A and B are shown apart, each in its own frame.
Chain A
Amino acid sequence: DSGVTQTPKHLITATGQRVTLRCSPRSGDLSVYWYQQSLDQGLQFLIQYYNGEERAKGNILERFSAQQFPDLHSELNLSSLELGDSALYFCASSVGQDYTFGSGTRLTVV
């Protein structure tokens, strides 16, 4: 257990639907990052939050949004889902240069 918890582990949904992925960071970590990993590829940075505020944005589609709540957990909302959104979605938290990743949510859009 890395200390970063992601739920659900697996999600299957239809095109056009909306889903919410949840991440609880490691205790004490203020930063949360979201990444997308398509099949056999490296991770693509989506967005970062620090203590409730958006800090940096990567290649995040307008159909996707995220937030970090006062208890520091974060949610990634994916809407109007397309087949190409099928991927592993990872959350990471960090303090300093120490990044810890969760085990991911596998999203399958059918």
Chain B
Amino acid sequence: DAKTTQPNSMESNEEEPVHLPCNHSTISGTDYIHWYRQLPSQGPEYVIHGLTSNVNNRMASLAIAEDRKSSTLILHRATLRDAAVYYCILRLLDSNYQLIWGAGTKLIIKP
């Protein structure tokens, strides 16, 4: 079963970088790695996705290990508005592009 493993929670100080790790040792070669975040009482929000190479966008960066068995979401300067649950997800090509969700990491930002 494709699956992701994340720490239950992490804390960071405001204005500092945050590195959120994810293990996905059963990933197959065609599975994309997606990250979403969910603020309280809201639906999940897309953050970033990648396949093999590191990716950057205006919200975050995604660093993917060479063997693709792990990845790290990087928030370069966390703000209080970044406090959310961050989900590392596999998008399975072999299952009609289903998103397989883990339990997520609750990110706490300290002012």
Contacts and interface: CB of A to CB of B under 8 A. Distances in A.
Interface of A: 2, 4, 33, 35, 41-45, 48, 55-56, 58, 90, 92, 94, 97-104
Given A42-B104, A103-B42, A104-B43, 15 more contacts: A2-B43, A2-B45, A42-B87, A44-B101, A45-B99, A45-B100, A56-B98, A94-B97, A97-B91, A97-B97, A99-B46, A99-B99, A100-B46, A101-B45, A102-B43
Contact of A90 (B43, B95, B98): B43
A42 B102 contact: yes
Contacts of B57: none
Interface string B97-111: 111111110000000
B4 to A, nearest CB: 9
B49 interface: yes
B43 A101 contact: yes
Contact of B101 (A43, A48, A55, A97): A43
Given A42-B103, A44-B101, A103-B43, A97 B49 contact: yes
Given A42-B104, A101-B44, A58 B98 contact: yes
Contact of B96 (A43, A48, A90, A103): A48
